[in-house]
Amino acid sequence: MKPELVAEIEFAGWTADGLVRQAAFKGLREDKPAKEVQAEKPSPPAKTDTPEPGPSAKTRPVRRKGAKAEVMGVLISSPDKPLWPDAGDGEPVTKEDLARYHEAVGTLFDLDPGPDVPFATVVAAAREMRDRLDELGLVSFCKTTGGKGLHVVTPFAVNKRKPLSWAEAKGFAHDVCEQMARDNPDLYLIKMSKSLRGGRIFLDYLRNDRMATAVAPLSPRARPGATVSMPLNWTQVKSDLYPKRFTVRTVPALLAKTTAWQDYCDGERPLEQAIKRLGKSRRAA
């Protein structure tokens, strides 16, 4: 019997004997002559030369070869193992680089208003948060959430000798919010319960956790209107701010005109001094 017809077969794989496993007939292929059909042989994967990681004085501490690295209290085995050959700077990205990428490098304050709170009040709360952080020596940035609130974000200057833990970042954020709520309990609260939010703004510090999530800048939201979490200059954060204008349709053109967050990395400040200042102000209160 000569093969004269070509059939399309879906299958899960090949057996050791060269037979197809879990085959299913999909149909005849009249567009392919039988004599042109040949079995394909898998090619061996191409070999890539992964360069040995060269320690960078800017990003990695100097240590002896084979030594372990500690990141956020966890010992990293084989920290110099390259995971990517190049990150665009000629240096491989190592296992330690990836671990440090997940370090706490800032705090996010989520201002989440109750349903009856005017947005102008949320704007005033964001500016108050900015002023409080400024008094602590920190630079802050603001963005819409794509919803009814605002995010105030402050970047940290990372101390490589004593990396900041997520617990420290979260504790700092809690203390800032607690002090703000204590100063004006009729407007702010730090308890998550929605039943308590009538006329008040929930100062959500819980986003500052290793496993917590928060909407990233420029992320579209699953909300009516295709709104986007839009980075803002503080000059835009005023009573007539209308966050619903930032949508998947409008944001691309707006990005060409804005300078918001362009100096974000320049705003990095050490948290240790801010924690000391906050402690003094809490004791004085």
pLDDT tens profile 176-185: 999 999 999 9
Which band of pLDDT confidence, cut at 50, 70 and 90, is reported for residue 73?
low
Indicate the DSSP class of residue 30: T
Q: How many CA atoms lie within 13 A of 144 on its CB side?
A: 24
List b or e across 124-148, with b for residues whose CB sees 16 or more CB atoms inside 10 angstroms: bbbbbbbebbeebebbbbbbbbbbb
Given a contact cutoff of 8 angstroms between Cβ atoms, the answer to whether 139 and 277 are in contact is no
pLDDT value of residue 62: 58
Structure pTM?
0.69
Cα-based distances in Å from 216 to 85, 220, 228, 273: 27, 9, 10, 27
Superfamily (CATH H level) for 106-284: DNA primase, PRIM domain (3.90.920.10)
Closest CA to 142 of 229, 76, 220: 229
Least confident of 16-20, 39-43, 65-69: 39-43
pLDDT value of residue 130: 98
Query: What residue segments make up the domains of the chain, in order of their start?
Result: 69-101, 106-284
Cα-based distances in Å from 208 to 34, 159, 213, 278: 63, 18, 8, 18
Which band of pLDDT confidence, cut at 50, 70 and 90, is reported for residue 61?
low
Tell me the sheet residues that pair with 111: 150, 203
Which band of pLDDT confidence, cut at 50, 70 and 90, is reported for residue 44?
low
